[in-house]
């Protein structure tokens, strides 16, 4: 294989990057009446993991000082900048925040709510889709709502959303921890808006391209000819190899090793043929 080409690919390699068509999209993760500062910190951490920056804490049950405390920052780890820069919205009428919440959500083009319920078709307000079924518009200001730990979003809060998401779980215990649910949904969104390539670090895993595979197939074809496989089987044997390798998820390194083996076989057969002619 061309070592200069591989070196160039490694230097230009980007493991993950935002898909160009989503460059104008913005997300805000909105926690509605969260009850524990630890969960808020953990959510800031997973937001950092998946490149989400904007955290809004609406009508929290905890005091702002506790939400921003060293303890909560400990849960946030490297996401503490997200926690410390979060928007904390407190309101006077804490027991009935719906009017204020409705007013706040008007700034968004799309509001997505999350629920652990929604399995029963009789509750029309909670008809939900799975995260993988969500279609994300290319240019929108989107809010993703998460409810309090003890009971999630209320029906009144759910009614303010355009779309409802539910994570599929086992029937016996469907309720996830708030930060776990947030992590799963952000991961699913991350996969939709980012181009994700295999490999990480200074020596990433580069996938074999068509040019690499064609080199292997040329060795396979030569080998088939040298082995004098019956003519009516030659094509089928060749395509059997090609089909298997095309279905495989091969790196350049793996393909290089396999190509080397076939190249060596061809050389050995060539030497045997020359020896037999003497």
249-278 pLDDT, tens digit each: 788 888 888 888 988 888 888 777 665 665
- The confidence score (pLDDT) of residue 274 equals 60
| Strand 54-58, strand 87-89: pairing | parallel
Same domain, 162 and 238: no
Whether residue 10 lies inside any domain: the answer is no
Q: What average pLDDT score do residues 202-220 get?
A: 82
42: DSSP letter:
H
Check: CB of residue 114 under 8 Å from CB of residue 144.
yes
Q: Domain of 52: which CATH number?
A: 3.40.1280.10
Shared domain for 211 and 144, answered yes or no, is no
Tokens 């809004």: give the residue: 56
57 plus 171 within the same structural domain? yes
Q: What are 152-188's pLDDT values in tens digits?
A: 999 999 999 999 999 998 888 888 899 999 999 999 9
- Specify whether 33 is located in the same domain as 152: yes
In this structure, the answer to whether residues 217 and 113 fall within a common structural domain is: no
pLDDT per residue as tens digits for the range 97-130: 999 999 999 999 999 999 886 555 555 566 788 9
Give per-residue burial for 57-81: e unless 16+ CB within 10 Å, then b: bbbbebeeeebbbeebbebbeebbe
Listed in sequence order, the residues at least 6 apart from 35 whose beta carbon sits closer than 8 Å to its beta carbon are 61, 62, 148, 149, 150
Cα angle: 25, vertex 28, 32; to 5 degrees: 155
| pLDDT higher than threshold 80 for residue 195 | yes
Number of domains the chain is built from: 2
- Residue finishing a domain among 196, 215, 248: 196
- pTM reported for the whole predicted model: 0.76
Q: Find the mean pLDDT for residues 53-74.
A: 95
Read off the pLDDT of each residue in 227-238 and give the average, rounded to a whole number.
83
Same domain, 93 and 211: no
Any domain includes 85: yes
Distance CA 206, CA 200 (A): 10
pLDDT band at residue 80 under the 50/70/90 scheme: very high
**Mean pLDDT, residues 39-45:** 97
pLDDT at 38 over 70: yes
Question: Closest Cα to residue 234, out of 219, 223, 250?
Answer: 223
Domain of residue 187, residue span:
16-196
What interhelical angle do 210-226 and 231-247 show, nearest 10?
150
The mean pLDDT of the chain is 87
Q: Summarize the confidence of residues 52-60 as an average pLDDT.
A: 97
With CA atoms as reference, report the closest residue to 42 among 32, 26, 31, 27: 31
Average pLDDT over every residue of 191-216: 80
> CA–CA separation, 65 vs 59, rounded Å?
14
């Amino acid at each position: 294989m061309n070592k200069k080409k591989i070196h160039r690919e490694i230097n230009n390699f980007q493991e993950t990057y935002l898909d160009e068509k989503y460059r104008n999209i913005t997300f805000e993760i909105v926690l509605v009446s969260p009850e524990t500062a630890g969960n808020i910190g953990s959510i800031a951490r997973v937001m950092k993991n998946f490149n989400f920056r904007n955290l809004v804490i609406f009508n929290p049950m905890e005091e702002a000082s506790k939400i921003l405390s060293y303890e909560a920052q400990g849960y946030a780890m490297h996401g503490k900048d997200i926690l410390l820069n979060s928007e904390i919205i407190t309101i006077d009428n804490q027991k009935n925040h719906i009017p204020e919440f409705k007013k706040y959500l008007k700034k968004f083009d799309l509001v997505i709510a999350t629920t652990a319920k929604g399995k029963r078709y009789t509750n029309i307000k909670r008809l939900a889709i799975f995260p993988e079924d969500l279609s994300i518009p290319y240019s929108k200001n989107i809010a993703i709502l998460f409810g309090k730990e003890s009971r999630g979003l209320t029906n009144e809060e759910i009614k303010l959303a355009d779309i409802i998401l539910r994570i599929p779980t086992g029937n016996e215990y469907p309720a996830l921890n708030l930060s776990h649910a947030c992590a799963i949904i952000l991961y699913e969104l991350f996969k939709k808006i980012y181009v994700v390539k295999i490999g990480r670090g200074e020596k990433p895993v580069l996938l074999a391209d068509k040019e690499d595979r064609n080199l292997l197939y040329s060795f396979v074809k030569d080998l088939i000819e040298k082995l004098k496989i019956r003519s009516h089987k030659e094509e089928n044997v060749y395509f059997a190899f090609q089909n298997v390798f095309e279905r495989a998820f091969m790196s350049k390194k793996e393909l290089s090793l396999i190509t080397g083996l076939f190249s060596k076989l061809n050389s050995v057969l060539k030497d045997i043929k020359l020896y037999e002619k003497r």
